[in-house]
Structures are given as C-alpha cells and as structure tokens.
Amino acid sequence: MDDFETATVTRSVDLDATPERVWDALVDDDQRSAWLGRRSRIDVRRGGPGKVTDDDGTVRHLAVEDVQPGRRLAWRWWPEQTGNCSTVEFVLEPVGPGTRLIVTERAAPGTTVAACRSAAGSGVSSALVCDRLTMLARVVGAAVVVV
C-alpha cells in the first residue's frame, strides 16, 4: 500500500524461512548486503549507527530505533544528499513454518537532515555511555544503574 495521506509505503512478503533465519538476514551485515542495496553496515542495537549504500550509489545514514530479536527492527535513515528523513520498520510474523515480513517506510514529518543527525548522534552517544558504564561495572564488579 502506498498511502499519500499517511506518507507510508508498506510491503509484505511471505518467506520460506523461519523468523530466526529471516532475522539473521536482517541483522547480519554480510547477509543484509546481499539484498538491501549494494552494501550495508549497521550496529544493530538501539541508537546504533549504520550506513546503507543503494544500488544507484545513494548513501543513507541511519540510527537504529528498536531491536526486538525475531520480531521487530526499526530505524530512521536519511540520504546523504537530500533532507528526506524517513523511518523504516520490519515486522516478522510466523506463518506456518515460514515468515511474513512486513516493511513500512514512512516519511518523517517536520524533520530535517540536521534533526535526523542530531537524533542519531544523541542515541549513539547514550548507547556508548551505557556500554562504557557496563564495562566499568564489569571491571569493578559493581552494579550500575543508568538513570
């Protein structure tokens, strides 16, 4: 469905593969590069950065927004060249032995490349801070509560 009013494009495809197998194809860089554009690298965790190069050479930067293994992956991305920020959501549903994969891309209203970048930047840095605190906790053997 392409919907002018809600600015969304939705596609669904039924795959002869388990949700686990499809999930791997979404999150593994080498596997993803076989089907999403020419090449992609994504740090698949909330706030993680990524970069996808399309077949036509268009480079999109992205920030991961949601990771629910085997069920849902969402990111926000924006082409390097234009200010067209959008969100992408993958939902995996088991259908018999296979998987229905539903993809929704939505133009993000009221956002600019700068806004996308800063949203991504803050997500990345807070993820890094969390990682560092977790590492520190391991080193000192203490529990860390991130507020």
Q: What minimum distance in Å lies between the beta carbon of 19 and another protein?
A: 11
104, two tokens: 């929704």
- Range in contact with another protein (rule: CB under 8 A) among 7-15, 43-51, 61-69, 138-146: 7-15
Sole window of 66-74, 102-110, 117-125, 127-135 interacting with another protein (rule: CB under 8 A): 102-110
103 binds another protein (CB under 8 A): yes
Interaction of residue 13 with another protein, rule CB under 8 A = yes
Which part of the chain contacts another protein (CB under 8 A), choosing from 43-51, 79-87, 118-126, 129-137?
Answer: 79-87
Work out whether 10 is an interface residue with another protein (CB under 8 A): yes
Could you tell me which residues come within 8 angstroms of residue 60 by beta carbon, excluding any fewer than 6 positions away? 51, 52, 53, 54, 77, 78, 79, 80
Return all residues near 9 (Cβ < 8 A) that are at least 6 apart: 1, 2, 3, 104, 105, 106
Q: How far apart are CA 48 and CA 25, in angstroms?
A: 18
Query: Which residues are registered as beta bridge partners of 75?
Result: 64, 88
Contacts with 140 (C-beta within 8 Å, 6 or more apart), sequence order: none
Q: Which amino acid is located at 17 in the chain?
A: A
C-alpha angle 34-29-146 in degrees, rounded to nearest 5: 150
Least distance in angstroms from the C-beta of 74 to another protein = 15
The residues in 23-62 that bind another protein, with binding defined as CB under 8 A, are: 25, 31, 34-37, 54-55
Footprint on this chain of another protein (rule: CB under 8 A): 1-2, 4-7, 9-13, 15-17, 21-22, 25, 31, 34-37, 54-55, 82-86, 101-103, 105, 107-112
